[in-house]
Structure 1
C-alpha cells in the first residue's frame, strides 16, 4: 500500500514539475510616454514567433513558454519600434513604454511601423497615409488630398468634387472601400465625385495594381481602402474640432467629433459643415467651343457648393469578439459652370449668376449618400472570422433649366410625374456582404478564405435619358495563401471566382419623335433601351513574392483581374450634356480582363532612401468610349456620336521616389510617375486611351524640428511640381501643355495652457499660374485650374477620463 502511495505521489510530483516547466506565462502591458495604455498594439515574441495584440486595457500575454531568453518586438502606428530581451525563468510580468516617432523619412507618404510592415508583406505596391497627412495636404475633396501620392491623380469637377485615378485607370476600374464595404455611388460618370467626408478618415491604403482577389472584380486598376476611427482607449472620452478656411473659393468649414468608451462599449459622433463660393481661375475669360466667355472677377459662375455630413459609430469589444456599426449620411449640393452644361454659352443670364458668388443656381447637382455598415470579428487560437454587411442608398439629381432638344415639346407638359428642371435622377440601393476567415496553419503559413456578394438596384427618372435602370448581382469566392519562406522572404498566391448578372430595364421616351419609314412619316415614342439580361463569370489569380534583406526590399507580383461591363457601357443611348456628345452603349461587350506584372525595389536607411515601382499591363479587350464621325440630330441636338467599343491595349509605366537628409532636420525628396498606353487593335489603333495622365515629377524640401520655442513638431515644406505636355491623346481630346507649380506648407502644434492646438497652412499655386489639367472634367472646354489658394486648418483635440 505504501509503495502504491509513493508511486502515485511521484507521478503527481513529476506531472507538476513537467507542467510548470512547459507552462510559463509572460504577461505584460504596453503604455505610451504618459503611462496611458495602448490598445491593438502588435507584440511578437522571438524565437517562438508567437504574436498577439494588446487588449482593451493594453494587456497582452503568452502561455506555454519554456525557460530561456526571448526577444519582444512591439510596433504601433506613430511610435518608434520597440525591442528588448527578456529572461524567462518563471511566470513573468512585463511593462513596455513606447516613444512617439516624430520623424517621417519619406515625404510623399506618411510612414510608420504599421505602414512599413504592410509594405513588406504586400506584394503589390501600396501607399499609406494617416489623418495628419490629410490635414497637412487638405484639398477640395478627399481625392484631391491624395494627389501627392505617386501614381495617384484625380478627375476634378470644380473645387469640391473629384474621383480617383490610379496609374491612368479610373471610374469602375478603381474600387473605393470604406470600413471594409465597397463604396457604391454613381462612379461611372466623370462629373460624379465620391460622397465621403475627408474629415472622418483616419488612414487610407492606396493599393496600385489589380486587387480583385480580396476586393472584388472592379479592382482592376487598384483600391482606395479607407479606415475610419479606431477603437478608443478604455474609460476615456475625447474628440477634435476642425476649422478650415480657403481663400480661392472663400470656403468656410468645420467638423466636430466626440468619442468615448466605457469598458466594452464605445462610440463616436461627427458632424461636418462646408460652404464654399464660386472658385477663381487666373483668366479673364474661357473659350467654350469657340465662344469666349468673359468671367466676372475671375470666377467660374455657379461653381459654389455646400456639404453637410453626419457620422455615428458604436460597438462592443471583448477579448475575442468585436462588433462595430457605422452610420453616415453625406449630403452635397454643388453648381455646374453655367456656361458649359448643355446650354449655349452666350445664352446664360450672367447678371443673375454674377449677383452673388455663393448662391447655387441652375444647373446644379444634389447628392445624398446614406450608409449603414457593420463589421464583426471573432478570434479563436488560430482562426479569426470576420463578417461585414452593409446597406447604401445613393440618391442623385441633376437640375438644369428645361430646354427642348430634338423632338422635345417647346413647353414642358404638366402631366408628367417629375419636375421639368430635373435633367436626370438616379436612385441606387446597394446591399453588401463579405465573409472572411483567417487561419494560421502554422507559424509560417496563413490561409485566407472569403466570399463577397452585392446586389444593386438603380432606378432612373427625369426628362433626359442617358443610361437605363438596372439590377445587378455580383458574388465571388476566393482563397489566398501566405507562406514565410524565411524571416526575410514571403510568397503569396490566390485564386478567385466571380459571377455576375445584370438585368437592364427597357426605356421609352416620354415625348414623340418623328420617324420616317419609306413614304410614311409617323410620330412615335422611341424605345431608347431594350430589356437585357446578361450573365458573366471569370477566374482571377495572383502570385506574389517579397524579399526584405535588411535595408533592401524587393517585391514582385503577377496576376489576372476582371471587370464586367456596366449598365452605361451596355445600354447608354442619350445626350451627355456635360460633354456635348451623344453616347451609345454596346450590348455585345465582353467582360474586361487584365494581366499585370508589378515590381518594386527599395533601399532605405536613416538618412537616404530610393525606390522604384514599375508595371506592365495588358488588356485583351479594354472598354472605352470611341468618338465617331457621325452626329445625332433627331434626339441629340446635333451632338457628335460616341460609341462604346473594345480594343486590345498595352500599358506600362511606374513611379520612382527618393529622399535624402543632408543635414539634421532637413529633407530633400523627389517623386516621379509615368504611364504609357497604346491601343493595339480597333478603330483607334495606335492611339492611347482617354484620360491618360501626363508624366509628372514632384520635388520637395522639408524642414522639421521636434520643438521651436512654444511650437511642437513645426515643419515647413516647399513643393515644386513639373508636369509634361500630354501629346498622347484620343481625339477629340486636345494636346495639353505642360506646367510647373509651386506650393508651400507649414504648421505645428501650439499649447495654450493645457490645450493643444494643431495648425496647418498651405499656399497652393503660389505663383497663380494659369494651366490646364489633362484629366480635369472641364479640360475639354479649356477651363484652367484654380488660381492661388491659401488654406488654413486648425485642429483642437481634447480628451479626458470617464
Structure 2
C-alpha cells in the first residue's frame, strides 16, 4: 500500500505543468567575512537552504513572483528583504548580517503549520543549532539539548540512555520527531534512548507545552523535532564532512562520515556513524560495570525541488548494543559483581567483575540490542494557491534483552514493533490575512513478541487518526494563532498465554490448550477519544519588547505499559503492573511570557501553570505491612496509578552581549518546576509522602561566559573560550511514598571548553575543533533523575554511599573536517 501511494504521488506531481522558474544566489557576509550555516528561506513559500563554508547560497526552481526572503543565524540579527522575480535570469543577492548574541528571533518550523518566527509564536519555543550542540560536547543528543534549553531535563540510565522531559513531564508525553516524522521505538520504556544519530542532526527545535493540536496524542508536554543535517555541496560536486569524537571517562570513540551531492534540482545525502565506549567511572563507584555500548547508524536521503514543489525520500538504520547495569555489588568492598547463574542466583553472593573487564569495549553477554529502521517520504505540492503536504513513514523497532547467563543467546525480552505513520495537510491560500491549515494524521501499529522468556506487555494492535485546523493572523503589533483537533485511538489484543519451556525451564508464549498455560494478558479492546486545541496572542509593545500568552488543552491516550503491563522488564529490573481501566490524560496549560531585546542584553521570562486530569505515574508496590512486594526475586515491583496533578514553574534567561565588547557573552538561565499530586484520598492517608509527583527536576541555574575572538590568529579563526557553571538545588519535594523516590542532595558542576575554526592561507576551512572538560572538579553527585541512584541492594554501606553516582570528570575532543 505504501509503495502504491508513493507511486501515485510521483505520477501526480510529474503531470503538473511547469511554471516559469527563477534562481536566487549570492553570498552572506559578517564583518566582511563569509558566514556559513546561515538559514535562507522564502517566507511562507517553503524554499530554503543554508550558506556553505564560503558563505555562498543558491535557491533554484522558484516560480516568478514577489517574495520576502529571510536570512537568519544564531548570533546575528535576522534580515528580511522583499524581492521580485520576473525572469529566468538569476537574481544575485549579497547580504551582510550584523552580529547579536540574541537567539530569540530564530526562525522555526516546529509546532506551527508554516514558517514561524519565535517572537511571533505565543507557544514557548527554543532552538539549538548544530554549532551549539557541537560546543556542548556530550555522550548523546538529548544531553546536549538539556544543556542548551532551560526547562528540558532527562531521566538517565548511564551515559548513553537519556529520555527527554519537558517541564517535569516525560516518556511518551514528549513527542520526539525526526525530520517531522514521529519517532516510534517503545519510547515509554526507561532503559533505552532515542534511536537517532547525534552527528547527523543540524538543529533541534523544542516546543514547551501541549502540542497535541498539530501532532495528536503523546505531545502533552511538548515536542522535540530533530532535523537532519544536509552537508553542503556545489552542483555536480561531492561534499561532506568527517567527524571524530573522543571522551576520556568512558573511552567513547565516535566517527561519522557525511556526504552530500547536488545535481541541478536533485540533492543526495548519505551518513554513516560508529560509536563505542566502555563503562563510565566516578571516584565513588570506580568503573560502573554494565554501561558500555556499541552503536551504528546509516542514513540516506534524496530530494528533488521543482516548480511544483518538492519530494524527498529518507532512510535510517540504527543498531545499538547496550549493556544492562543491575547495580549488584560486594557488600564490603563495594566492587561490582555479575550474574553467572539463572536458577540459584543469589544477588548478594555473585562473583566480583575482574578489573580487566571493567574497561573493555567487548559487550557483556547480558545486554540489550535495539535495532530501528525508518523509511519515509515527504512531498509538498503547490495546489490552488496553497500547498499540499503528504508525509508517509514506516518504522520497525526490534528490541532484545539478553538476561540469561547460562543461555547467553536466549533473549529474555524479544519484541518487534511495526508502525505506519501518515499525515496530510493543506496550507490554504491567505484569506483576509488568515493563514489556515487543515490536516489529518495518525498511525497503525502492531507489537509482536518473538522467541523470548519474559512478556511484560501483550501483542497489541493500535490504530490512530485525528483531524485538525490551525490558523494565524497578524493585526499590526498583535499576532494570533490557534485551532482545534479531534483524535481517535483504538487499542486491542487477543488472549495471551504463557507457559514453561520443558527444556530450558524459562517462560514461553503458548496457546491456550497447552498444559500449564497461564492467561497472562486477557483480551482487551478499547477506544479512546480526545479534543485538544490552543489559542494564543503575541503583542509587540515595541520593537524591543513583547508579551505572549497562550492557553492549550492537550490529550494523551494511555500507553501500552500503563494499561497492559503484567510482567518483568529484564532491562529495567522492574516488574510493571498496569491498569486496564485507565482514562486518557487531559491537561490545560496556561503560558505567559515576556521578551526584551535590549542593546546590550536579551531577557525572557516564561511562567506556566499545568492542570492535568487522570495523570498516570509509577509507584512501588508494598504489602499491608509496608514491605516491598517481590514477584520476581531481585527485581522491584511498580504499579501504575492515576490521579489529578498540577505542575507549575518558570524559566528565565538573561543574556548579556555588550555592544562595545563584541567578544564577550554572559548567558544565564533559571528553570524551576513544581509537581503536585492532587490525589485527595492518598494525601489524606499518607500526607507529605504523597504530596509531590515523581521525576520532577530540581531548581536549575546555569551561567556561562563565552569569549570569542573577533579576528583570525594565524590559522585559528575566531577561537573561543567558554566557562559554564550549573547549580542544581537539593530535591526535597519528591514522591516519598513506599520509598519510590528519596531525597537528593544539591550539587554544582563546572565545565570549560575551547575551540576554533582552522583555515588555510586561502581562507578555506580546514576543520572545526572543540575541546571540553565536563565536571571539571570531579564532583561526586547523583541526579534525582538518574535511575542508577536506586540500583542498590543493601540498606547500608561501608563508605556511607548508596546507589550509583553520575559520571566523573570527562575530557572530550571533537574535530569536524569539511570537504
Give me the whole-angstrom Cα distance separating, in 2, the residues matched to 1:392 and 1:345. Answer: 41
**Aligned-partner SS, 1:143:** helix
Q: Which residue of 1 aligns with 2:722?
A: 717
CA drift at 1:103 = 4.6
1:392 to 395, 404, 416: 395
**1:90-489 correspondence runs (5 A):** 95-99=92-96, 103-106=100-103, 112=106, 118-148=117-147, 149-230=149-230, 235=235, 236-283=237-284, 285=285, 298-337=286-325, 339-340=327-328, 344-351=347-354, 354=357, 356-380=359-383, 382-401=385-404, 421-442=410-431, 444-461=433-450, 462-486=452-476, 488-489=477-478
Q: Secondary structure at the match of 1:509?
A: strand
1:617-640 Cα deviation digits (max 9, x unpaired)? 001210112333227878533865
Partner of residue 640, structure 2: 644
Cα-to-partner distance string for 1:155-190 (whole Å, 9 max, x where unaligned)? 112122211111111111000011121010011111
Counterparts of 2:58 and 2:460 in 1: how far apart (Å)?
Answer: 49
Residues 398 and 683 of structure 1, relative CA distance in 2, 3 Å threshold: farther
The verdict on how the C-alpha distance between 1:221 and 1:785 changes in structure 2, with shifts beyond 3 A counting, is: same
Q: 1:200 to 1:26 in 2, by over 3 A?
A: closer
Moved more, 610-619 or 26-35: 26-35
Cα 1:427–1:526, aligned 2, differ >3 Å: closer, same or farther? same
Question: Contact 2:663 / 2:709 at 8 angstroms: preserved in 1?
Answer: yes
Q: What is the alpha-carbon distance in structure 2 between the residues aligned to residue 37 and residue 774 of structure 1? A: 40
* 1:394-793 map, 5 Å: 394-401=397-404, 421-442=410-431, 444-461=433-450, 462-486=452-476, 488-511=477-500, 524-548=516-540, 549-577=542-570, 580-630=573-623, 635-637=631-633, 641-662=637-658, 663-681=661-679, 684-685=682-683, 686-710=690-714, 711-730=716-735, 731-752=739-760, 754-781=764-791, 782-793=803-814
Q: 1:223 to 1:36 in 2, by over 3 A?
A: closer
The question of whether the paired residues in 2 share the 8 Å contact of 1:40 and 1:53 is answered with: no
Q: What is the TM-score with the length of structure 1 in the denominator?
A: 0.84
Q: Which residue of 1 aligns with 2:342?
A: none
2:413 aligned counterpart, secondary structure: strand
What's the offset of the Cα at 1:751?
Answer: 1.4
C-alpha separation in 2, matches of 1:28 and 1:639: 62
**Whole-Å separation in 1 of the counterparts to 2:770 and 2:224:** 24
- 2-structure distance, mates of 1:437, 1:85: 25
* C-alpha deviation, 1:355, in angstroms: 6.3
Task: Describe the superposition over 1:411-433 as per-residue Cα deviations: whole angstroms up to 9, x where unpaired.
Answer: x8xxxxxx774111121111011
Distance 1:89 1:464 in 2: 66
Distance 1:507 1:428 in 2: 17
Q: Answer whether contact 1:174 1:223 (CA < 8 A) is retained.
A: yes
Within 1, Cα distance between the matches of 2:613 and 2:279? 43
Asked if 2 retains the 8 angstrom alpha-carbon contact of 1:175 and 1:219, the reply is yes
Task: Give the superposition deviation at 1:347.
Answer: 0.9
Distance 1:64 1:248 in 2: 56
Q: Residues 256 and 274 of structure 2 are in contact (CA less than 8 Å); yes or no, is this contact kept in structure 1?
A: yes
Question: Residue 294 of structure 1 aligns with which residue?
Answer: none
- Measured at CA, do residues 100 and 276 of structure 1 come closer, stay the same or move farther in structure 2, by a change above 3 Å? farther
Residues 319, 501 of structure 1: alpha-carbon distance in 2 compared, 3 angstrom cutoff = same
Give me the whole-angstrom Cα distance separating, in 1, the residues matched to 2:749 and 2:239.
39
Supply the distance in 1 between the matched residues of 2:278 and 2:592 (Cα, whole angstroms).
44
Residues 612 and 348 (structure 1 numbering): CA distance in 2 closer, same or farther, change over 3 Å? farther
Q: Could you tell me how far apart the structure 2 residues matched to 1:361 and 1:131 are?
A: 33
Per-residue CA deviations over 1:397-420 (Å, capped at 9, x if unaligned) read: 1111258xxxxxxxx8xxxxxx77
Deviates more, 1:127-136 or 1:388-397: 127-136
Change (3 A) 1:305 1:479: same
Q: Structure 2: which 5+ runs fail to align?
A: 1-20, 50-56, 110-114, 329-337, 340-344, 506-514, 684-689, 792-802
> Matched residues in 1 for 2:564 and 2:24: separation?
61
Looking at structure 1, the residues matched to 299 and 787 of structure 2 have their Cα atoms a distance apart, in angstroms, of 29
Is 327-336 or 356-365 further displaced after alignment? 356-365
SS in 2 for 1:596: strand
CA distance in 1, matches of 2:275, 2:287: 19
Tell me the alpha carbon deviations over residues 345-390 of structure 1, each in whole angstroms, 9 at most, x when there is no partner: 5414412873652221132111110100111101246301110000
Distance across 2 between alignment mates of 1:244 and 1:253: 5
For residues 204 and 540 of structure 1, the distance between their equivalents in structure 2, rounded to whole angstroms, comes to: 25
Report if aligned partners of 2:368, 2:571 keep a CA contact under 8 Å in 1: no
What is the match of residue 19 of structure 1? none
C-alpha distance in 2 between matches for 1:43 and 1:761: 36
> Residue 800 of structure 2 aligns with which residue?
none
Pairing 1:81–2:102 present: no
CA distance in 2, matches of 1:345, 1:100: 64
Residue 270 of structure 1: SS of its match in structure 2? Answer: strand
TM norm structure 2: 0.82
For the Cα contact (< 8 Å) 1:37–1:57, is it kept in 2?
Answer: no
Where 1:199 maps in the other structure, the secondary structure is: helix
How many Å separate the matches in 2 of 1:580 and 1:36? 50
Q: Give, in whole Å, the separation in 2 of the partners of 1:88 and 1:454.
A: 41
Contact 1:37 1:58 in 2 (8 A): no
Gaps of 5+ in 1: 1-24, 45-49, 66-70, 286-297, 404-411, 413-418, 514-522
CA contact (8 A) 2:365 2:405 kept: no
